[in-house]
Amino acid sequence: MFETLVLVCVIGTTNICHTLEDLEGPYNTKQECISRAYEIAADLPSYMPNYQALKYKCIKDKETLEGKVRT
C-alpha cells in the first residue's frame, strides 16, 4: 500500500513550501499513487491558487518517516 505526498510551493519561490498528504489513500499500487499525485497537482489551483506542485513522493504506508521527507 502506498500513500501520496505532494510538495507545493508559492509560485516564483522555493522557500515557502508545504507538504500535502492525500486523504483518499492508501493505494494498492505505486502507479495509482502516482496518478493521484498528478490529480492533486491538477486540482491545486482551485484550492491554493498561489501555489504550484513541485514534487511528489509515494511511500509505503508502513514505512517509518523520520525527519524530513526527501521528495
Give the chain's domain count: 1
Domain that residue 49 falls in: 2-60
Residue type, 59: I
Grid cell in block for residue 7: 510538495
What pTM was estimated for this model as a whole? 0.79
For residue 65, being part of any structural domain is answered with no
Grid cell in block for residue 53: 506542485
Ranges 2-6, 46-50, 63-67: which has the least confidence: 63-67
Q: For 8-30, what is the mean pLDDT?
A: 90
How many Å apart are CA 22 and CA 20, to the nearest integer? 6
Ranges 10-14, 37-41, 49-53, 55-59: which has the least confidence: 10-14
Which burial class, exposed, middle or buried, applies to 31 when counting CB atoms under 10 A from its CB (0-12, 13-18, 19+)?
Answer: exposed
pLDDT for 66 equals 52
For residue 66, being part of any structural domain is answered with no
For residue 9, being part of any structural domain is answered with yes
